[in-house]
Amino acid sequence: MKKFVSVLIIVLFIFTNRINVFAAGADQLDLKSEGAVLLDSDTGAVLFAKNANDKMYPASLTKIATAIYAIDMGNLESIVTVSHNAVSQDGTRVYLNEGEQVPLKKLIQGMLINSGNDAAVAIAEHIDGTVEHFSENLNMYLKAKIGVNNTHFTNPNGLFDENHYTTAMDLALITNYAIKNPVFAEIFGTKVLEWKGQSWETTLLTHHRMLKGELPFPGVTGGKTGYTSESKQTLATTADNGKIRLTAVVMKSELKNDKYNDTALLLDYGYNTFQHATIKQGEIFKADNNFFYPENDTLITESVKGCIKKINNDGMLSIEDQDGQQIQSLQLKYKEPQKLKTVPTKREKPKEHKQQLFQVNVILGMMIIAFAGAFIGFRNKRTRKYKNLS
């Protein structure tokens, strides 16, 4: 818990300084799912949003949050002793035995790949002692580290509880954060895993039909399924076509195939509509008489047809498509106006100046005396001449 609190303080500072992105609409997609979000995995730009902030039940997509929290906060090589409470869980399991000792990483694999509810509870109790403490800490972690605003989890596996809820937007943010961890990304993208436990030896296959290859789709790199009678069908998917990486979440589909069809529509839309560009470090953007610039080369998401960049007086740069629909937004740094530099005149040292002035005065004085002497001599000579004439 001390470790979590220290991380919490650090992350709160980091999170408040991050680049902001905002949702872009795409009403032309006809999705069956009630909630959906598509993110650019690299920039975080929201490429599609449908009922993105509506309260919904996540079912087993909860395990994405449980996994990244356990990876961040736990020791993957530590040994977990499975409790009676863990083996008593309903739904999908990896058939753990009470008292069985299993490495934490293996439990995370069983939870994500085979959606083991028993593995999820074993993880929670190992990390924080009880499911209740785990849920409290998980909620704080998700808010502080990832910035979710509408999520409250009461268990680690997603079994239905009225107070266990989230949104499509929050789940997309959680998934997108998680895939940046290489351990999570590896497990999230695992299709087949040999499993050897005390009571169960089998080959685990991912439940995600697009990742497995049953419903082929180019570039799918990871995924997690979910279902309860209250949540309906839920699905999280990541994909990469070599040009752009995408994170898609769909929630509350009535039929299993609907969530896959909707995900395919989202990914196709992302592949065909958006691309990456870079705003170069130091590039200047002007708003009235104010100037702004990015401190580093900054990756942005834009329409394949090009984009329009608009900046307001606060330095917020908006990336829009040709129809004026905002795709992404980021804060630029204010450029202080340059002050005109005045070139100082070279001033002589006082002592040198006095010496030079004295020398000039002496010369002038000698010239005046010489001139006066010559004038007086000339006048006396003329006076004597006039006297001789008279």
CATH code, 63: 3.40.710.10
Q: Examine residue 381 and state whether it is found in any structural domain, yes or no.
A: no
Residue 220's contacts (CB-CB under 8 Å, 6 or more residues apart) are 208, 210, 211, 237, 238, 239, 267
Q: What is the pLDDT of residue 288?
A: 84
Examine the domain organization and report whether 75 and 159 are in the same domain.
yes
Looking up tokens 């680690």, which residue turns up? Answer: 156
Q: Examine residue 138 and state whether it is found in any structural domain, yes or no.
A: yes
Cα–Cα dist 17/23, whole Å: 19
Examine the domain organization and report whether 147 and 287 are in the same domain.
no
Examine the domain organization and report whether 43 and 155 are in the same domain.
yes
Structure tokens at 318: 């908006």
User: Has residue 374 got a pLDDT over 80?
Assistant: no
271, 302, 320: which is the final residue of a domain?
271
Examine the domain organization and report whether 260 and 284 are in the same domain.
no
Which structural domain range is residue 248 located in?
2-271
94-151 pLDDT, tens digit each: 999 999 999 999 999 999 999 999 999 999 999 999 999 999 999 999 999 999 999 9
Q: Examine residue 370 and state whether it is found in any structural domain, yes or no.
A: no
C-beta separation of 224 from 248 below 8 A: no
Q: Examine residue 388 and state whether it is found in any structural domain, yes or no.
A: no
Structure tokens at 145: 């580290």
Strand partners, 331: 316
Examine the domain organization and report whether 218 and 170 are in the same domain.
yes
What are the E-state strand segments in the chain?
A: 35-40, 46-50, 79-81, 101-103, 192-196, 201-205, 220-228, 232-240, 245-253, 274-279, 285-287, 290-293, 298-303, 308-311, 316-320, 326-331, 333-334
3-40 pLDDT, tens digit each: 444 444 444 433 333 334 444 444 579 999 999 999 99
**Mean pLDDT estimate for the chain:** 87
Give me the phi and psi of 77, to 5 degrees please: -90, -5
Examine the domain organization and report whether 176 and 111 are in the same domain.
yes
Examine the domain organization and report whether 293 and 253 are in the same domain.
no
253, 271, 289: which is the final residue of a domain?
271
In this prediction the pTM is 0.80
Examine the domain organization and report whether 81 and 173 are in the same domain.
yes
Structure tokens at 72: 């961040």
Examine the domain organization and report whether 218 and 285 are in the same domain.
no
User: Has residue 362 got a pLDDT over 50?
Assistant: yes
Examine the domain organization and report whether 72 and 117 are in the same domain.
yes
Examine the domain organization and report whether 186 and 304 are in the same domain.
no
Cα–Cα dist 33/120, whole Å: 26
225-240 pLDDT, tens digit each: 999 999 999 999 999 9
Q: Examine residue 383 and state whether it is found in any structural domain, yes or no.
A: no
315, 334, 353: which is the final residue of a domain?
334
Q: Examine residue 199 and state whether it is found in any structural domain, yes or no.
A: yes
44-88 pLDDT, tens digit each: 999 999 999 999 999 999 999 999 999 999 999 999 999 999 999
CB crowding 171-184: b at 16 or more within 10 Å, else e: bbbbbbbbbeeebb
Q: What is the pLDDT of residue 24?
A: 46
Q: Examine residue 82 and state whether it is found in any structural domain, yes or no.
A: yes
Residue 324, CA atoms < 13 Å, CB-side half-sphere: 0
Examine the domain organization and report whether 58 and 29 are in the same domain.
yes
Q: Examine residue 90 and state whether it is found in any structural domain, yes or no.
A: yes
Number of domains in the chain: 2
